[in-house]
């Protein structure tokens, strides 16, 4: 049996690693002989089989192929209809995890408990959907860990570095950046920031537009008219993008059956120009992370590159310019998240994490100095507080004779309520006939499993109410439903 197993459930590629007896992690190949499995599922129309991986990606009908489902893990309305059955993103992910479990356990023995990685800014629903996917695949989730944290754990382990490390993980669908401190064998996360929808597939789409433009100029027709043609062109664009990480210029012949072929020339310079806006956004995320940790670029000892898209030379240059030192690659940029997750499974007690979100409540904030008052998001636990933690803020009630105190629970850092999520509400009944201005204490606590609780105490009456701050809305399966779907999945042919 493999005791310490980590899985990187990526947007484009997934991988599984286990901890060997000597304490070093190793990637376990799938039954197709590949170290990483494309996160793609294909529903065959002839045989009752679900293909996962390269066969699915390169295979057949795009209408029956599911790509990049990770982007929708928190969207309850994203339903995939296939042969009369509705599939949720969580179930599609479960198919990918099932293949990893089945294939890899043939090599390393039974796999029961795993650590699964998620982008640092995955919200609660996306995290819950990931856990549900694992359960459907017959895996118990020991812990979810943020992808850059896992990568940093691997980097610190394999390179034996000490000091402040900034991990820059630019993958297929997301950018994550984390700053942490390595002291001896201990790791303390200082901050994690993420940008969803900033990754290699955005660059592919941008390149595809450029392809289409060049094609139209030459052929006076569109490059693609259906999904199959679009997929093929997208694939070609991705290949060209990868080539441009090594070469200054590439030429490609692309086209379709109806309008014929055209030759496309592309230089690295053009590509860099096309993605410059995205790369600047990436730099702004790095600056945001430094700000959150109250650090300057010169305070960072090591900049570590993770993720397939970190191979793009412009990305390295941008970081080198900003930090005044060249970033280090952790070698196997697309494997280190899974490798780190396997290490994390064993070492989690030595890793001090932070809370991923700010939690607070809505309050009318009155500034005595200026006389100004406005409704704001009043943060009780700021993002990046070391966990476990517990914080209290005092408020006063707003109206005379208030019978019910309502406390909206917010998630998000912005002062402006328009830009935060209200994820729940606590209502507390209080005695009648009280003037406004009674004191109310709001306490949030955050444990190491990233569970949040909120406690509201009315000071005068001593009445209180505590709730688990947990997303329970659309998209979360009941235990029974989960069981039903996992037994359904276990009977399925997945290859």
Ligand X SMILES: Nc1ncnc2c1ncn2[C@@H]1O[C@H](COP(=O)(O)OP(=O)(O)OP(=O)(O)O)[C@@H](O)[C@H]1O
**Beta carbon nearer to ligand X, 199 or 475:** 199
- Least Å from the CB of residue 162 to ligand X: 26
Parallel/antiparallel/unpaired status of strands 174-183 and 113-118: unpaired
Which 142-181 positions form the footprint of ligand X (CB under 6 A)?
147, 171-174
How open is the CA angle 320-324-329, to the nearest 5 degrees? 40
- In the list Mg ion, ligand X, other proteins, none, the entry touching 420 (Cβ below 5 to 8 angstroms by class) is other proteins
Q: Which residue is nearest to ligand X (CB)?
A: 200
Residue 101 has, within 13 A of its CA and on its CB side, a CA count of 25
- C-alpha distance from residue 222 to each of 204, 216, 260 (Å): 17, 6, 11
381 scored as a contact of other proteins (CB under 8 A): no
Peptide bond into 233 cis (omega under 30): no
Given a contact cutoff of 8 angstroms between Cβ atoms, the answer to whether 283 and 318 are in contact is yes
Residue 245 vs 317, nearer CB to ligand X: 245
Q: Least Å distance between CB 109 and other proteins?
A: 38
User: Shortest CA distance to 201 belongs to which of 275, 262, 269, 130?
Assistant: 275
**Contacted entry of Mg ion, ligand X, other proteins, none for residue 342, CB cut-off 5 to 8 Å set by kind:** none
Nearer to Mg ion, 171 or 475 (CB): 171
Binding to other proteins (CB under 8 A) within 290-309 occurs at 291
Paired sense of beta strands 174-183 and 163-170, if any: antiparallel
Give min distance, CB of 374 to other proteins, in A. Answer: 9
Closest CA to 477 of 87, 10, 9: 87
Helix (H, G, I), strand (E, B) or coil at 185: coil
Q: What does the radius of gyration of the chain's CA atoms come to, in whole angstroms? A: 25
String of contacts with other proteins for each residue 60-99, x by CB under 8 A: --------------xxx-----------------------
Under rule CB under 6 A, residue 115 binds ligand X: no
Distance, CA of 493 to CA of 490 (rounded, Å): 8
**Dihedral, CA of residue 352, residue 357, residue 362 and residue 365, to nearest 10:** 70
Of 58, 209, 213, 287, which one interacts with other proteins (CB under 8 A)? 287
List 119's β-bridge partners, or say none.
none
Sequence-separated contacts (24+) of 277-283 with Cβ below 8 Å = 278/198, 278/202, 278/203, 278/206, 279/314, 279/315, 279/318, 281/195, 281/198, 282/168, 282/170, 282/175, 282/195, 282/198, 282/315, 282/318, 283/318, 283/322
26 binds, among other proteins, ligand X, Mg ion, none (CB under 5 to 8 A by kind): none
Beta bridge partners of 255: 261
Per-residue DSSP letter, 365: E
Can you tell me which of 296, 425, 484, 493 binds other proteins, judged by CB under 8 A? Answer: 425
Contact string 181-200 vs ligand X (x = CB under 6 A) = ------------------xx
Hey, is 48 helix, strand or coil?
coil
Q: From residue 443 to residue 482, what is the string marking binding to other proteins with x (rule CB under 8 A)?
A: ----------------------------xxxxx-------
By beta-carbon proximity to Mg ion, the closer residue of 151 and 405 is 151
Chain residues 229-268 in contact with ligand X, contact rule CB under 6 A: 238, 241-242, 245
Angle, in degrees to the nearest 10, between helices 336-347 and 147-159: 80
Binder to other proteins among 243, 422, 455, 482 (CB under 8 A)? 422
The count of residues in the chain is 495
Tell me: does residue 123 bind ligand X (CB under 6 A).
Answer: no
String marking each residue 70-89 x if it binds ligand X according to CB under 6 A: x-------------------
Binding positions for other proteins, 348-377, rule CB under 8 A: 361-369, 375
Nearest to other proteins of 223, 442 (CB atom): 442
The binding site for Mg ion (CB under 5 A) comprises 10, 171
Kind plus residue range of the DSSP H or E element containing 148? helix 147-159
Task: Decide if residue 316 touches ligand X (CB under 6 A).
Answer: no
When binding is defined by CB under 8 A, the residue of 6, 308, 327, 424 that contacts other proteins is 424
Among 157, 164, 196, 268, binds other proteins (CB under 8 A): 196
Beta-strand relationship, 404-411 and 421-429: antiparallel
Ranges of beta strands (E only) in 277-347 are 302-306, 328-329
Piece in contact with ligand X (CB under 6 A), picked from 8-16, 76-84, 229-237, 404-412: 8-16
Residues at the site binding other proteins, with contacts judged by CB under 8 A: 74-76, 121, 123, 125, 195-198, 276-277, 279-281, 283-285, 287-288, 291, 318, 321, 361-369, 375, 378, 393-398, 405-408, 410, 412-414, 416-425, 440, 442, 471-475
Binding site residues, ligand X, CB under 6 A? 10-13, 70, 147, 171-174, 199-201, 238, 241-242, 245, 307-309, 311-312, 334
């Amino acid at each position: 049996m493999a005791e310490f197993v980590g899985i990187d459930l990526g947007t484009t590629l997934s991988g599984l690693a286990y901890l060997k007896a000597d304490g070093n992690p190793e990637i376990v190949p799938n039954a197709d002989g590949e170290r990483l499995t494309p996160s793609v599922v294909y529903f065959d129309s002839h045989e009752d089989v679900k293909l996962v991986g390269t066969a699915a990606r390169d295979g057949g009908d795009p209408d029956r192929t599911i790509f990049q489902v990770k982007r929708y893990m928190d969207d309850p309305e994203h339903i995939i209809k296939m042969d009369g059955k509705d599939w949720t993103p969580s179930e599609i992910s479960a198919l990918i995890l099932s293949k990893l479990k089945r294939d890899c356990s043939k090599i390393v023995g039974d796999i029961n408990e795993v650590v699964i990685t998620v982008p640092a800014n995955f919200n609660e629903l996306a995290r819950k959907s990931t856990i549900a996917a694992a359960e459907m695949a017959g895996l118990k989730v020991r812990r979810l860990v943020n992808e850059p944290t896992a990568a940093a754990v691997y980097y610190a382990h394999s390179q034996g570095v000490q000091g402040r490390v900034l991990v820059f993980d630019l993958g297929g669908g997301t950018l994550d950046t984390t700053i942490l401190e390595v002291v001896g064998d201990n790791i303390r996360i200082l901050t994690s920031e993420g940008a969803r929808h900033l990754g290699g597939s955005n660059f592919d789409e941008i390149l595809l537009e450029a392809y289409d433009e060049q094609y139209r100029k030459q052929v006076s027709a569109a490059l693609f008219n259906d999904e199959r043609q679009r997929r093929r062109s997208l694939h070609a664009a991705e290949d060209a993008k990868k080539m441009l990480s090594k070469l200054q210029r590439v030429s490609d012949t692309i086209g379709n059956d109806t309008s014929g072929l055209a030759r496309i020339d592309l230089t690295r310079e053009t590509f860099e120009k096309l993605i410059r806006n995205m790369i600047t956004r990436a730099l702004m995320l790095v600056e945001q992370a430094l700000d959150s940790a109250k650090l300057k670029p010169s305070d960072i000892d090591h900049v570590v590159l993770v993720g397939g898209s970190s191979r793009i030379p412009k990305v390295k240059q941008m970081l080198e310019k900003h930090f005044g030192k060249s970033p280090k690659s952790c070698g196997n940029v697309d494997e280190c998240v899974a490798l780190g997750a396997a290490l994390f499974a064993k070492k989690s007690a030595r890793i001090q994490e932070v809370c991923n979100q700010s939690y607070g409540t809505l309050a009318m904030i009155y500034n005595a100095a200026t006389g100004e008052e406005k409704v704001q998001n009043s943060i009780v636990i700021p993002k990046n507080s070391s966990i476990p933690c517990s914080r209290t803020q005092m408020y006063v009630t707003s109206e005379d004779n208030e019978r019910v105190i309502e406390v909206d629970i917010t998630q998000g850092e912005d002062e402006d309520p328009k830009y935060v999520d209200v994820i729940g509400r606590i209502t507390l009944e209080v005695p009648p006939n009280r003037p406004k201005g009674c004191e109310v204490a709001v306490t949030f606590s955050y444990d190491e499993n990233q569970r949040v609780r909120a406690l509201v105490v009315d000071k005068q009456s001593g009445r209180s109410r505590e709730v688990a701050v947990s997303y329970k809305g659309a998209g979360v399966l009941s235990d029974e439903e989960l069981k039903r779907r996992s037994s359904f999945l276990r009977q399925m042919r997945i290859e």
